[in-house]
Amino acid sequence: MQESEVIRLYDLYSDSIYRLAYSYLGSMHDAEDIVQDIFLKLVQRNIRIGEGKEKSYLMSMAANACKDLFRSGRMKLTVPFEEVADRAFDYSLEEQDISLFEALKKLPENYRAVIHLHYFEGYKVKEISKILRISQSGVTMRLTRGRDMLADLLKEE
Decide if 150 contacts 104 (C-beta within 8 A): yes
Q: Which CATH number fits the domain that encloses residue 109?
A: 1.10.10.10
Both 84 and 125 in one domain: the answer is: no
Decide if 151 contacts 115 (C-beta within 8 A): no
Both 52 and 111 in one domain: the answer is: no
Q: Which CATH number fits the domain that encloses residue 24?
A: 1.10.1740
- pLDDT band at 74, cuts 50/70/90? low
- Where is the domain boundary, 56, 79, 95? 95
For the segment 79-96, what is each residue's pLDDT rounded down to a tens digit?
444 444 444 444 444 444
Output the pLDDT for position 85.
Answer: 43
Both 17 and 60 in one domain: the answer is: yes
Both 124 and 156 in one domain: the answer is: yes
- Where is the domain boundary, 52, 76, 95? 95
Entry field: residues in the chain: 157
For the segment 105-141, what is each residue's pLDDT rounded down to a tens digit?
888 888 988 988 888 888 899 988 988 889 999 999 9
Cβ within 8 Å of residue 28, ≥6 positions away: 22, 83, 86, 87
Identify the domain containing residue 89 by its residue range.
1-95
- Whether residue 21 is predicted with pLDDT greater than 50 in this model: the reply is yes
**Cα end-to-end distance, the chain, whole Å:** 49
Please tell me which residue, 49 or 13, carries the higher pLDDT value: 13
- Whether residue 97 is predicted with pLDDT greater than 70 in this model: the reply is no
Q: Count the domains in the chain.
A: 2
- Angle (CA) 131 132 136, round 5°: 90
Both 86 and 107 in one domain: the answer is: no
Instruction: Express as a percent the part of the chain with pLDDT over 70.
Output: 82
